[in-house]
Structure 1
Amino acid sequence: MEETIKEIWYACYGSNIRKERFMCYINGGTPPGALKNFKGCVDKSEPRDSRTITIDHEMYFAKKSATWNGGGICFLKAKKDSSANTLGRTYLINSGQFIDLVRQELKFEGEIVIDFKELIKNGFYNCMSDGRYGLLLYLGEIEGKPVVTFTSEVFLENEINKPDEQYLLTIIRGLKDIYQITDLEILKYLQSKKGVENLFSSSQLQKIIRKV
């Protein structure tokens, strides 16, 4: 199976919803508002397609990202939740690009082996147990090609952290790029996430959203 999978629908739910930011993982470079320069993929081909996706896993903000001024970044709870409606975006990329993408997210320079057959069979695959995004989740398929995302293998309950404004702005811009969504809908969406709820007032969030 793993030899026949040439393309992957990579599903993202955080700052990569913004294509300009995601392309830094493909081409290399520093995303607007971020501090880190990314190496990029060996194959710098553009994604062949991109679509919206609703993910049935709860999203939250945790850890301290040096890329985003020490603020929290997005994760999914590994367990499915039929009530969760996490707004995401899929990019159709080749399997080599996907592996390079995972390597960059894990900040790992060595070889990464992904058994896509096991991932599809079990619904998950742990490619690095101590990596912040080391757990791959199989979300189904689009036109016969697997849809895959990644997150932490455990819920980072003790590391919930308020996101940096620039990180939120990147997500908001991405949502507006690909969804028909109002400012009020974005406000309600973000307010429901751990790491944002009770850490931003409605007026603070509204002020950020209005910048886009």
Structure 2
Amino acid sequence: MTVPEPILLSRRPGAPATGLDPVWYAAYGSNLDADRFGCYLGGGRPVGGQRDHPGCRDGSPPRDDRPVLLPGGLYFALESRTWSGGMAFYDPGLPGVVAARAYLLSADQFADVAAQEMHRLPSGPLDLIAAAVAAGRASAGPGRYETVVCAGILDGHPVLTLTAPWRAGEVPPNPPAPAYLATIARGLRASHGWTDERIVGYLNGRPGVDGRLTCCPGVDGRAEYRLRA
């Protein structure tokens, strides 16, 4: 399968945008996988997950999606309520780039996705969008995915993602669950066209994984991801 070349974004707080609706939602964790992201749009429980999502008020599919690279770093920390194990977080202050998949959504859809990531019920507009575009980031609270970061502008629309307000070094790393890693890997293969070897190399350099990830054929022939003790 041929995929487009990823677009390297640059952080430009205050960069002009043609508007704040639609917006790009840049997913760098399990939402890299389109089927898993569909549970945020239409509701349901992802394969391997432990929690149901109510879905967006408008469950329409994304208008477009693109592979992008966010300036910064990825790390795994805390404990996921959906997968168990460490959760993926984005730290724009780290060196390097983070592979992401940008989905073009309405502002209301992004607000509903953000609400679910914040463990809230979708209920209305997200006032943080304009503030994040103007300042580069804005927070709804101190929680895990309660900070909206504007990573750049793509085709005139802001590219937004969700992360925690703290820096990577301020929380202890925690290894992610195999099902979570497998979901991220599916998303990287589909959106960026990466091989299993490249995926392992990318994830092994992240705090919480720390070089312990291996990949081998599973019983169904699909790649199986494991963390060495």
Q: Under a length normalisation based on structure 2, what TM-score does the superposition of the two structures give?
A: 0.82
Distance 1:171 1:117 in 2: 29
Deviation of 1:180 (Å): 2.3
Q: Secondary structure at the match of 2:187?
A: helix
2:215 aligns with: 206
Contact between 1:21 and 1:32, CA under 8 Å: does it hold in 2? Answer: yes
2:70 aligns with: 55
Amino acid at match of 1:31: P
Deviation of 1:193 (Å): 0.3
Deviation of 1:189 (Å): 0.4
Amino acid at match of 2:163: T
Deviation of 1:35 (Å): 0.8
Contact between 2:20 and 2:130, CA under 8 Å: does it hold in 1? Answer: no
1:155 aligns with 2:167: yes
Distance 1:107 1:178 in 2: 26
Deviation of 1:112 (Å): 6.3
Deviation of 1:28 (Å): 0.2
RMSD: 2.1
Q: Which runs of 5+ in 2 are unaligned?
A: 1-15
Residues 94-105 of structure 1 aligned to structure 2 (within 5 Å): 94-105=106-117
1:64 aligns with 2:79: yes
Q: Secondary structure at the match of 2:181?
A: helix
2:90 aligns with: 76
1:117 aligns with 2:130: yes
Distance 1:71 1:115 in 2: 29
Contact between 2:128 and 2:148, CA under 8 Å: does it hold in 1? Answer: no
1:168 aligns with: 181
Distance 1:176 1:161 in 2: 24
1:37 aligns with 2:45: no
Aligned length: 203
Deviation string, structure 1 residues 4-51 (Cα, Å, up to 9, x no partner): 522110001000000000010000000001011000000011100000
The percent identity for this pair of structures is 33
Contact between 2:128 and 2:139, CA under 8 Å: does it hold in 1? Answer: no
Amino acid at match of 1:148: L
Distance 1:65 1:121 in 2: 30
1:133 aligns with 2:142: no
Amino acid at match of 2:216: K
Q: Which runs of 5+ in 1 are unaligned?
A: none
Distance 1:115 1:164 in 2: 31
Contact between 2:62 and 2:104, CA under 8 Å: does it hold in 1? Answer: yes
Distance 2:159 2:77 in 1: 24
Q: Under a length normalisation based on structure 1, what TM-score does the superposition of the two structures give?
A: 0.88
1:190 aligns with 2:206: no
Distance 2:73 2:39 in 1: 26
Contact between 2:216 and 2:224, CA under 8 Å: does it hold in 1? Answer: yes
Deviation of 1:139 (Å): 1.1
Question: Which of the numbers 108, 116, 120 marks the counterpart of 2:120?
Answer: 108
Distance 1:91 1:60 in 2: 22
